[in-house]
Amino acid sequence: MITVSATTARNTLYDLLEEASSGQKIAITNKGETKAVLISPEELASWEATMEVMSDSNLVKSIKKGLDDIKHGRVIPWEEVKKELNIK
């Protein structure tokens, strides 16, 4: 993560926008304290999707159960699923 002062951010905004759009995170500070972070729209969308999933306790439980099933071999091979559902 790049850290810049608010003054530097103001003076180099277009360069920072390019950095953010390429995936770099930029912390913007005021008097040494981080006040904001500049990220790409894709990064923001990813965080929003993650927060939506994590806020659904039933979904989180289902994901954990699925991961546990995989870990313990409680899976059905894809070819078997396709055969059951008549998928070619």
Enumerate the β-bridge partners of residue 26: 2, 38
Share of the chain above pLDDT 70, in %: 100
**pLDDT for the residue 88:** 84
| pLDDT recorded at residue 4 | 98
Count of H helices and E strands in the chain? 5, 3
Which residue type sits at 18? E
Instruction: Report the top-level CATH class of 2-40.
Output: alpha beta
| pLDDT above 90: residue 47 | yes
Which residue ranges make up each domain of the chain? 2-40, 42-84
pLDDT above 90 for 19: yes
Judged on CB neighbours under 10 Å (0-12, 13-18, 19+), 5 is middle
Structure pTM? 0.69
pLDDT digits (tens, 9 = 90+) for 54-82: 999 999 999 999 999 999 999 999 999 99
Pull the structure tokens for residue 46: 């990813």
